[in-house]
Amino acid sequence: MSIRKSSLLMPRTASWVGVSALSAALLATTALPSKADEALADLVESVSPSVVTIVAEQKARQIPTQGQNFDFEGHPFGDFFKRFGAPEGFDAPQRGPAQGLGSGFVLDEAGYIITNHHVVDNAESVTVRLSDDRTFEAEVIGTDPLTDIAVLKIDAGEDLQAVELGDSDIIRVGEDVVAIGNPFGLNSTVTTGIVSAKGRNISQGPYAEFIQTDAAINKGNSGGPLFNMDGEVIGVNSAIYSPTGGSVGLGFAVTSNIVDHIASDLRDDGQVSRGWLGVSIQNVSPEIAAAMGIDASTGALVSDVVDGSPSEGILKQGDVILTFNDEPVESSSDLPILVGTTKVGTDSTLTVLRDGKEQQLELTVGQYQSASADIDTSVDDAIEGTALGVTVAPLTDANRTEMGLSENVSGVVVTALEAGSPAAKAGLQRGDVIVKLGSQNTTTPDALKAALDSEKTGPALVLINRAGNQIFVAVEIA
Protein backbone atom coordinates (compact mmCIF):
# COMPACT_ATOMS: atom_id res chain seq x y z
CA MET A 1 0.00 0.00 0.00
CA SER A 2 1.38 3.37 -0.93
CA ILE A 3 0.85 6.54 1.05
CA ARG A 4 0.56 9.67 -1.02
CA LYS A 5 2.19 12.63 0.62
CA SER A 6 1.57 16.20 -0.29
CA SER A 7 4.74 18.15 -0.79
CA LEU A 8 5.76 21.59 -1.86
CA LEU A 9 7.98 21.48 -4.99
CA MET A 10 10.62 24.20 -5.22
CA PRO A 11 12.57 25.26 -8.29
CA ARG A 12 16.12 23.91 -8.22
CA THR A 13 17.42 27.42 -8.47
CA ALA A 14 15.68 28.56 -5.32
CA SER A 15 18.03 30.24 -2.91
CA TRP A 16 18.22 29.68 0.84
CA VAL A 17 16.79 33.14 1.19
CA GLY A 18 13.74 32.08 -0.81
CA VAL A 19 13.34 28.89 1.23
CA SER A 20 13.65 30.84 4.45
CA ALA A 21 11.07 33.35 3.28
CA LEU A 22 8.71 30.54 2.35
CA SER A 23 9.23 28.85 5.75
CA ALA A 24 8.44 32.10 7.48
CA ALA A 25 5.28 32.47 5.43
CA LEU A 26 4.21 28.93 6.28
CA LEU A 27 4.83 29.55 9.96
CA ALA A 28 2.85 32.76 9.76
CA THR A 29 -0.17 30.93 8.37
CA THR A 30 -0.06 28.22 11.07
CA ALA A 31 -2.89 29.11 13.43
CA LEU A 32 -1.70 29.56 16.98
CA PRO A 33 -4.23 29.58 19.82
CA SER A 34 -5.61 33.07 20.21
CA LYS A 35 -6.52 34.68 23.49
CA ALA A 36 -10.18 34.25 22.55
CA ASP A 37 -9.66 30.51 21.91
CA GLU A 38 -7.86 30.12 25.22
CA ALA A 39 -10.60 32.04 27.03
CA LEU A 40 -13.27 29.74 25.55
CA ALA A 41 -11.29 26.63 26.49
CA ASP A 42 -10.82 27.98 30.02
CA LEU A 43 -14.55 28.68 30.30
CA VAL A 44 -15.50 25.19 29.15
CA GLU A 45 -12.98 23.61 31.48
CA SER A 46 -14.30 25.59 34.46
CA VAL A 47 -18.04 24.91 33.97
CA SER A 48 -18.06 21.38 32.52
CA PRO A 49 -17.98 19.67 35.97
CA SER A 50 -21.37 21.27 36.69
CA VAL A 51 -23.07 19.76 33.62
CA VAL A 52 -24.74 16.38 34.19
CA THR A 53 -26.49 13.62 32.25
CA ILE A 54 -30.10 12.79 33.08
CA VAL A 55 -31.35 9.23 32.56
CA ALA A 56 -35.14 8.92 32.91
CA GLU A 57 -36.64 5.45 32.85
CA GLN A 58 -40.30 4.76 32.19
CA LYS A 59 -42.09 1.53 33.00
CA ALA A 60 -42.75 -1.20 30.44
CA ARG A 61 -46.04 -0.90 28.63
CA GLN A 62 -48.21 -3.27 26.65
CA ILE A 63 -48.22 -2.52 22.95
CA PRO A 64 -51.68 -1.84 21.45
CA THR A 65 -52.80 -4.45 18.96
CA GLN A 66 -55.66 -2.65 17.26
CA GLY A 67 -56.27 0.66 15.48
CA GLN A 68 -53.89 3.40 14.57
CA ASN A 69 -51.90 2.98 17.81
CA PHE A 70 -50.83 -0.49 16.72
CA ASP A 71 -47.08 -0.98 17.00
CA PHE A 72 -45.24 -4.25 16.47
CA GLU A 73 -41.85 -3.06 15.35
CA GLY A 74 -39.88 -6.04 14.08
CA HIS A 75 -42.74 -8.52 14.51
CA PRO A 76 -42.95 -10.94 11.52
CA PHE A 77 -46.72 -10.36 11.19
CA GLY A 78 -46.59 -6.70 12.09
CA ASP A 79 -47.90 -5.39 8.77
CA PHE A 80 -50.67 -8.00 8.68
CA PHE A 81 -51.81 -7.22 12.24
CA LYS A 82 -51.68 -3.51 11.52
CA ARG A 83 -54.08 -3.89 8.59
CA PHE A 84 -56.45 -6.55 9.92
CA GLY A 85 -55.90 -6.53 13.69
CA ALA A 86 -54.41 -9.19 15.95
CA PRO A 87 -56.38 -12.40 16.45
CA GLU A 88 -58.67 -12.72 19.45
CA GLY A 89 -56.78 -13.78 22.56
CA PHE A 90 -53.47 -12.73 21.12
CA ASP A 91 -51.03 -12.00 23.93
CA ALA A 92 -49.58 -8.59 23.10
CA PRO A 93 -45.88 -8.30 23.81
CA GLN A 94 -44.52 -5.91 26.40
CA ARG A 95 -42.42 -2.99 25.33
CA GLY A 96 -39.34 -2.87 27.55
CA PRO A 97 -38.72 0.04 29.88
CA ALA A 98 -38.18 3.22 27.86
CA GLN A 99 -35.04 5.14 28.69
CA GLY A 100 -34.70 8.82 27.89
CA LEU A 101 -31.50 10.81 27.95
CA GLY A 102 -31.21 14.50 28.66
CA SER A 103 -28.92 17.04 30.19
CA GLY A 104 -28.93 19.22 33.27
CA PHE A 105 -26.72 21.30 35.51
CA VAL A 106 -25.98 21.71 39.20
CA LEU A 107 -27.83 24.71 40.55
CA ASP A 108 -26.23 24.69 43.97
CA GLU A 109 -23.66 22.70 45.88
CA ALA A 110 -26.30 20.91 47.97
CA GLY A 111 -27.19 18.77 44.94
CA TYR A 112 -30.14 20.56 43.34
CA ILE A 113 -30.22 19.93 39.59
CA ILE A 114 -32.05 21.82 36.82
CA THR A 115 -33.37 20.06 33.71
CA ASN A 116 -36.45 20.10 31.48
CA HIS A 117 -39.89 18.93 32.55
CA HIS A 118 -40.23 16.88 29.37
CA VAL A 119 -37.00 15.00 30.15
CA VAL A 120 -38.38 13.52 33.39
CA ASP A 121 -42.12 13.61 32.70
CA ASN A 122 -43.82 10.30 33.65
CA ALA A 123 -40.49 8.74 34.64
CA GLU A 124 -40.52 5.95 37.21
CA SER A 125 -36.92 6.58 38.14
CA VAL A 126 -34.40 9.29 37.36
CA THR A 127 -30.63 8.92 37.52
CA VAL A 128 -28.09 11.72 37.42
CA ARG A 129 -24.61 11.00 36.07
CA LEU A 130 -21.95 13.54 37.00
CA SER A 131 -19.07 14.55 34.77
CA ASP A 132 -16.77 12.14 36.65
CA ASP A 133 -19.17 9.25 35.78
CA ARG A 134 -20.53 8.83 39.31
CA THR A 135 -24.27 8.12 39.24
CA PHE A 136 -26.96 8.89 41.80
CA GLU A 137 -30.68 8.26 42.06
CA ALA A 138 -32.49 11.59 41.87
CA GLU A 139 -35.61 12.82 43.61
CA VAL A 140 -37.93 14.92 41.45
CA ILE A 141 -38.60 17.92 43.69
CA GLY A 142 -41.10 19.42 41.27
CA THR A 143 -41.77 20.25 37.65
CA ASP A 144 -43.51 23.06 35.79
CA PRO A 145 -44.93 22.05 32.39
CA LEU A 146 -45.81 25.66 31.52
CA THR A 147 -42.12 26.63 31.41
CA ASP A 148 -40.70 23.11 30.84
CA ILE A 149 -38.50 23.33 33.95
CA ALA A 150 -37.84 20.60 36.53
CA VAL A 151 -35.83 20.57 39.76
CA LEU A 152 -34.13 17.37 40.91
CA LYS A 153 -32.15 16.58 44.07
CA ILE A 154 -29.29 14.13 44.58
CA ASP A 155 -27.22 13.27 47.63
CA ALA A 156 -23.63 13.01 46.48
CA GLY A 157 -22.21 12.92 50.01
CA GLU A 158 -20.22 16.09 49.31
CA ASP A 159 -20.63 19.59 47.96
CA LEU A 160 -20.94 19.75 44.20
CA GLN A 161 -19.61 22.42 41.87
CA ALA A 162 -22.52 24.68 40.97
CA VAL A 163 -23.02 27.26 38.23
CA GLU A 164 -24.14 30.85 38.50
CA LEU A 165 -27.37 32.04 36.89
CA GLY A 166 -26.84 35.18 34.81
CA ASP A 167 -29.27 37.98 34.02
CA SER A 168 -31.00 37.01 30.78
CA ASP A 169 -32.56 40.47 30.49
CA ILE A 170 -29.25 42.17 29.79
CA ILE A 171 -27.90 39.83 27.12
CA ARG A 172 -27.75 41.26 23.61
CA VAL A 173 -28.44 39.74 20.24
CA GLY A 174 -25.08 38.81 18.70
CA GLU A 175 -23.39 37.84 21.97
CA ASP A 176 -21.34 34.64 21.95
CA VAL A 177 -22.85 31.69 23.82
CA VAL A 178 -21.81 28.13 24.64
CA ALA A 179 -24.09 25.11 24.96
CA ILE A 180 -22.90 22.03 26.85
CA GLY A 181 -24.87 18.81 27.01
CA ASN A 182 -25.24 15.24 25.88
CA PRO A 183 -26.63 15.18 22.33
CA PHE A 184 -27.39 11.59 21.27
CA GLY A 185 -25.74 10.43 24.51
CA LEU A 186 -22.35 11.97 23.66
CA ASN A 187 -21.38 13.29 27.07
CA SER A 188 -19.99 16.79 27.64
CA THR A 189 -20.40 17.94 24.05
CA VAL A 190 -19.63 21.63 23.56
CA THR A 191 -21.13 23.76 20.78
CA THR A 192 -20.83 27.48 20.27
CA GLY A 193 -22.89 30.16 18.60
CA ILE A 194 -24.51 33.50 19.22
CA VAL A 195 -27.74 34.84 20.62
CA SER A 196 -29.87 34.94 17.48
CA ALA A 197 -32.92 36.60 19.04
CA LYS A 198 -34.52 37.39 22.39
CA GLY A 199 -38.06 37.18 23.69
CA ARG A 200 -39.13 34.36 21.40
CA ASN A 201 -42.55 32.79 21.92
CA ILE A 202 -42.65 29.28 20.47
CA SER A 203 -46.18 28.36 21.60
CA GLN A 204 -44.91 26.71 24.76
CA GLY A 205 -47.33 28.84 26.77
CA PRO A 206 -47.79 32.38 28.05
CA TYR A 207 -45.29 32.01 30.90
CA ALA A 208 -42.26 30.85 28.93
CA GLU A 209 -39.86 33.16 27.13
CA PHE A 210 -37.01 31.88 25.01
CA ILE A 211 -33.59 32.88 23.79
CA GLN A 212 -32.94 31.77 20.23
CA THR A 213 -29.43 30.59 19.40
CA ASP A 214 -27.60 29.06 16.47
CA ALA A 215 -25.39 26.94 18.76
CA ALA A 216 -26.02 23.34 17.69
CA ILE A 217 -28.67 21.74 19.93
CA ASN A 218 -29.84 18.20 19.30
CA LYS A 219 -31.76 15.40 20.96
CA GLY A 220 -30.19 14.88 24.38
CA ASN A 221 -29.26 18.54 24.85
CA SER A 222 -32.64 19.17 26.50
CA GLY A 223 -32.23 20.55 30.00
CA GLY A 224 -28.61 21.53 29.49
CA PRO A 225 -27.17 25.00 30.11
CA LEU A 226 -26.58 27.82 27.67
CA PHE A 227 -23.65 29.88 28.96
CA ASN A 228 -22.54 33.44 28.29
CA MET A 229 -18.85 34.18 28.00
CA ASP A 230 -18.63 34.92 31.73
CA GLY A 231 -19.54 31.31 32.48
CA GLU A 232 -23.03 32.19 33.69
CA VAL A 233 -26.11 30.21 32.67
CA ILE A 234 -28.44 32.48 30.72
CA GLY A 235 -30.81 29.78 29.50
CA VAL A 236 -31.89 26.14 29.65
CA ASN A 237 -31.81 24.48 26.24
CA SER A 238 -35.32 23.17 25.65
CA ALA A 239 -36.35 22.96 22.01
CA ILE A 240 -35.24 23.14 18.41
CA TYR A 241 -37.00 23.92 15.18
CA SER A 242 -36.01 21.31 12.63
CA PRO A 243 -37.71 19.85 9.58
CA THR A 244 -35.14 17.02 9.63
CA GLY A 245 -34.94 16.19 13.34
CA GLY A 246 -31.36 17.46 13.57
CA SER A 247 -29.95 20.86 14.37
CA VAL A 248 -30.43 23.48 11.67
CA GLY A 249 -29.27 26.38 13.80
CA LEU A 250 -32.62 27.19 15.39
CA GLY A 251 -32.37 26.33 19.08
CA PHE A 252 -34.37 27.76 21.96
CA ALA A 253 -33.52 28.11 25.64
CA VAL A 254 -35.80 29.15 28.51
CA THR A 255 -34.41 32.39 29.94
CA SER A 256 -32.43 32.18 33.18
CA ASN A 257 -34.56 34.81 34.90
CA ILE A 258 -37.65 32.64 34.47
CA VAL A 259 -35.66 29.57 35.56
CA ASP A 260 -34.55 31.39 38.71
CA HIS A 261 -38.13 32.20 39.68
CA ILE A 262 -39.49 28.73 38.88
CA ALA A 263 -36.63 26.90 40.61
CA SER A 264 -37.05 28.95 43.78
CA ASP A 265 -40.76 28.12 43.91
CA LEU A 266 -40.24 24.42 43.23
CA ARG A 267 -37.54 24.14 45.89
CA ASP A 268 -39.85 25.70 48.49
CA ASP A 269 -42.76 23.27 48.22
CA GLY A 270 -42.63 21.52 44.85
CA GLN A 271 -45.28 23.86 43.45
CA VAL A 272 -45.20 27.01 41.33
CA SER A 273 -47.15 29.99 42.67
CA ARG A 274 -48.04 32.36 39.82
CA GLY A 275 -49.46 35.82 39.95
CA TRP A 276 -52.83 36.36 38.27
CA LEU A 277 -54.83 39.41 37.23
CA GLY A 278 -57.91 37.68 35.86
CA VAL A 279 -58.13 39.33 32.46
CA SER A 280 -58.16 38.19 28.86
CA ILE A 281 -55.74 40.22 26.77
CA GLN A 282 -54.62 40.57 23.17
CA ASN A 283 -52.23 42.63 21.07
CA VAL A 284 -53.17 46.08 19.86
CA SER A 285 -52.93 45.65 16.09
CA PRO A 286 -52.62 48.71 13.84
CA GLU A 287 -56.23 48.16 12.77
CA ILE A 288 -57.45 48.03 16.37
CA ALA A 289 -55.36 51.09 17.24
CA ALA A 290 -57.01 52.97 14.38
CA ALA A 291 -60.46 51.84 15.47
CA MET A 292 -59.76 52.98 19.04
CA GLY A 293 -58.28 56.28 17.89
CA ILE A 294 -54.87 55.75 19.49
CA ASP A 295 -51.50 56.39 17.91
CA ALA A 296 -49.31 53.43 18.89
CA SER A 297 -50.09 49.72 18.57
CA THR A 298 -48.34 48.76 21.82
CA GLY A 299 -49.56 47.42 25.14
CA ALA A 300 -51.99 44.67 26.12
CA LEU A 301 -55.65 45.25 25.28
CA VAL A 302 -58.09 43.99 27.93
CA SER A 303 -60.85 42.10 26.15
CA ASP A 304 -62.49 40.56 29.22
CA VAL A 305 -62.38 40.75 33.02
CA VAL A 306 -63.08 37.58 35.01
CA ASP A 307 -65.79 37.87 37.65
CA GLY A 308 -64.35 37.70 41.16
CA SER A 309 -60.79 38.22 39.91
CA PRO A 310 -58.30 40.79 41.27
CA SER A 311 -59.10 43.00 38.27
CA GLU A 312 -62.87 43.10 38.79
CA GLY A 313 -63.98 46.68 39.39
CA ILE A 314 -60.50 48.01 38.56
CA LEU A 315 -59.73 47.12 34.95
CA LYS A 316 -62.31 47.43 32.19
CA GLN A 317 -62.85 46.05 28.72
CA GLY A 318 -61.00 48.26 26.27
CA ASP A 319 -58.25 49.29 28.70
CA VAL A 320 -54.78 49.11 27.20
CA ILE A 321 -52.18 48.11 29.81
CA LEU A 322 -48.96 50.03 29.12
CA THR A 323 -46.85 49.23 32.19
CA PHE A 324 -46.91 46.79 35.10
CA ASN A 325 -44.94 47.80 38.19
CA ASP A 326 -43.00 50.29 36.03
CA GLU A 327 -42.03 47.57 33.54
CA PRO A 328 -43.12 48.38 29.97
CA VAL A 329 -45.73 46.14 28.33
CA GLU A 330 -44.85 46.28 24.65
CA SER A 331 -47.21 43.48 23.64
CA SER A 332 -49.71 41.11 25.21
CA SER A 333 -47.03 38.40 25.56
CA ASP A 334 -45.08 40.58 28.02
CA LEU A 335 -47.83 40.84 30.62
CA PRO A 336 -48.29 37.14 31.63
CA ILE A 337 -44.55 36.83 32.30
CA LEU A 338 -44.44 40.03 34.37
CA VAL A 339 -47.53 39.09 36.37
CA GLY A 340 -46.71 35.38 36.60
CA THR A 341 -43.34 36.07 38.22
CA THR A 342 -44.89 38.46 40.75
CA LYS A 343 -45.48 37.08 44.23
CA VAL A 344 -49.12 36.40 45.03
CA GLY A 345 -50.53 39.13 47.27
CA THR A 346 -48.23 41.85 45.94
CA ASP A 347 -49.77 45.31 45.61
CA SER A 348 -49.02 46.33 42.03
CA THR A 349 -49.37 49.46 39.93
CA LEU A 350 -50.54 49.50 36.31
CA THR A 351 -50.52 52.28 33.78
CA VAL A 352 -53.50 51.94 31.45
CA LEU A 353 -54.85 53.89 28.53
CA ARG A 354 -58.58 54.39 29.05
CA ASP A 355 -60.73 56.55 26.79
CA GLY A 356 -57.60 58.09 25.32
CA LYS A 357 -56.08 59.09 28.67
CA GLU A 358 -53.41 57.42 30.78
CA GLN A 359 -54.37 56.39 34.30
CA GLN A 360 -52.53 54.80 37.24
CA LEU A 361 -54.40 51.88 38.80
CA GLU A 362 -53.53 49.71 41.77
CA LEU A 363 -54.55 46.13 42.49
CA THR A 364 -53.38 43.13 44.47
CA VAL A 365 -52.04 40.23 42.42
CA GLY A 366 -54.00 37.00 42.96
CA GLN A 367 -53.22 33.31 42.58
CA TYR A 368 -53.16 31.86 39.04
CA GLN A 369 -56.08 29.61 38.21
CA SER A 370 -56.51 27.40 35.18
CA ALA A 371 -59.70 26.43 33.45
CA SER A 372 -60.65 24.59 30.30
CA ALA A 373 -63.85 23.65 28.56
CA ASP A 374 -64.97 21.77 25.49
CA ILE A 375 -67.04 24.11 23.36
CA ASP A 376 -69.64 23.01 20.84
CA THR A 377 -70.07 25.91 18.45
CA SER A 378 -72.94 24.52 16.43
CA VAL A 379 -75.87 26.93 16.13
CA ASP A 380 -79.07 26.33 14.15
CA ASP A 381 -81.93 28.48 12.84
CA ALA A 382 -80.02 31.61 11.84
CA ILE A 383 -82.67 34.28 11.24
CA GLU A 384 -81.04 37.59 10.43
CA GLY A 385 -78.39 39.06 8.17
CA THR A 386 -76.14 42.10 8.54
CA ALA A 387 -74.00 44.35 6.36
CA LEU A 388 -70.89 42.81 7.88
CA GLY A 389 -71.34 39.85 5.58
CA VAL A 390 -72.50 37.51 8.34
CA THR A 391 -75.68 35.70 9.19
CA VAL A 392 -76.49 35.89 12.90
CA ALA A 393 -78.95 34.34 15.32
CA PRO A 394 -80.09 35.32 18.81
CA LEU A 395 -78.09 33.77 21.65
CA THR A 396 -80.80 31.81 23.46
CA ASP A 397 -80.42 29.88 26.70
CA ALA A 398 -80.58 26.65 24.72
CA ASN A 399 -77.75 27.39 22.32
CA ARG A 400 -75.76 29.14 25.10
CA THR A 401 -75.81 25.84 26.98
CA GLU A 402 -75.02 23.90 23.82
CA MET A 403 -71.99 26.12 23.19
CA GLY A 404 -70.79 25.91 26.77
CA LEU A 405 -71.08 29.66 27.41
CA SER A 406 -71.80 31.17 30.81
CA GLU A 407 -75.09 32.88 31.57
CA ASN A 408 -73.53 36.34 31.57
CA VAL A 409 -72.49 36.08 27.91
CA SER A 410 -74.89 38.01 25.67
CA GLY A 411 -74.88 38.88 21.99
CA VAL A 412 -75.69 37.33 18.62
CA VAL A 413 -74.20 34.16 17.20
CA VAL A 414 -72.47 34.09 13.81
CA THR A 415 -73.97 31.16 11.93
CA ALA A 416 -72.50 31.86 8.48
CA LEU A 417 -70.03 34.19 6.76
CA GLU A 418 -69.82 35.38 3.18
CA ALA A 419 -66.49 34.72 1.51
CA GLY A 420 -64.49 37.94 1.19
CA SER A 421 -66.84 39.88 3.45
CA PRO A 422 -65.52 42.48 5.95
CA ALA A 423 -66.21 40.05 8.81
CA ALA A 424 -64.42 37.18 7.09
CA LYS A 425 -61.41 39.38 6.31
CA ALA A 426 -61.27 40.45 9.95
CA GLY A 427 -61.11 36.82 11.06
CA LEU A 428 -64.60 36.23 12.47
CA GLN A 429 -65.66 32.59 12.53
CA ARG A 430 -68.88 30.61 12.63
CA GLY A 431 -69.83 30.20 16.28
CA ASP A 432 -68.40 33.56 17.39
CA VAL A 433 -70.73 35.63 19.55
CA ILE A 434 -70.75 39.34 18.63
CA VAL A 435 -71.03 41.04 22.03
CA LYS A 436 -70.48 44.67 21.14
CA LEU A 437 -69.88 46.83 18.07
CA GLY A 438 -68.25 50.15 18.81
CA SER A 439 -69.74 51.33 22.11
CA GLN A 440 -73.08 49.58 21.64
CA ASN A 441 -74.10 46.18 23.00
CA THR A 442 -75.44 43.81 20.35
CA THR A 443 -77.86 41.65 22.30
CA THR A 444 -80.15 41.10 19.28
CA PRO A 445 -79.76 41.12 15.50
CA ASP A 446 -81.69 44.40 15.42
CA ALA A 447 -79.27 45.90 17.95
CA LEU A 448 -76.38 44.83 15.73
CA LYS A 449 -77.98 46.54 12.74
CA ALA A 450 -78.54 49.69 14.76
CA ALA A 451 -74.92 49.69 15.89
CA LEU A 452 -73.79 49.31 12.26
CA ASP A 453 -76.00 52.18 11.15
CA SER A 454 -74.42 54.47 13.73
CA GLU A 455 -70.86 53.64 12.69
CA LYS A 456 -68.99 55.90 10.32
CA THR A 457 -66.96 54.62 7.39
CA GLY A 458 -63.73 53.04 8.59
CA PRO A 459 -62.67 50.30 10.99
CA ALA A 460 -65.18 49.40 13.69
CA LEU A 461 -64.07 47.84 16.97
CA VAL A 462 -66.02 44.61 17.50
CA LEU A 463 -65.96 42.60 20.74
CA ILE A 464 -66.58 38.90 20.22
CA ASN A 465 -66.76 35.91 22.50
CA ARG A 466 -65.03 32.88 21.03
CA ALA A 467 -65.25 29.62 22.96
CA GLY A 468 -65.60 31.52 26.22
CA ASN A 469 -62.80 34.01 25.57
CA GLN A 470 -63.53 37.58 24.62
CA ILE A 471 -61.35 39.35 22.06
CA PHE A 472 -61.50 42.53 20.02
CA VAL A 473 -61.28 42.60 16.24
CA ALA A 474 -61.29 45.57 13.89
CA VAL A 475 -63.74 45.24 11.00
CA GLU A 476 -63.51 47.56 8.01
CA ILE A 477 -66.92 49.08 7.23
CA ALA A 478 -67.39 50.50 3.75
Residues assigned a catalytic role? 118, 148, 222
Q: Is 378 helix (H, G, I), strand (E, B) or coil?
A: coil
Phi-psi region of 254 (alpha: psi -120 to 50; beta: other; left: phi over 0): beta
- Asked whether the beta carbons of 207 and 147 are under 8 A apart, the reply is yes
Dihedral in degrees, nearest 10, Cα atoms 31, 36, 41, 42: 140
- CA 415 to CA 377: how far, in whole Å? 9
Q: Is 238 helix (H, G, I), strand (E, B) or coil?
A: strand
Cα-trace Rg, the chain: 30
Give me the amino acid identity at 447: A
* DSSP letter string, 71-116: --TT-TTHHHHHHH-PPTT--PPEEPPEEEEEEEEEEETTTEEEE-
Provide the 8-state DSSP code for 58: E
Q: Nearest-CA neighbor of 370 among 300, 464, 276? A: 276
- CA 101 to CA 103: how far, in whole Å? 7
- CA 203 to CA 189: how far, in whole Å? 28
- CA 328 to CA 322: how far, in whole Å? 6
How many Cα atoms occupy the beta-carbon half-sphere of 156 within 13 Å?
24
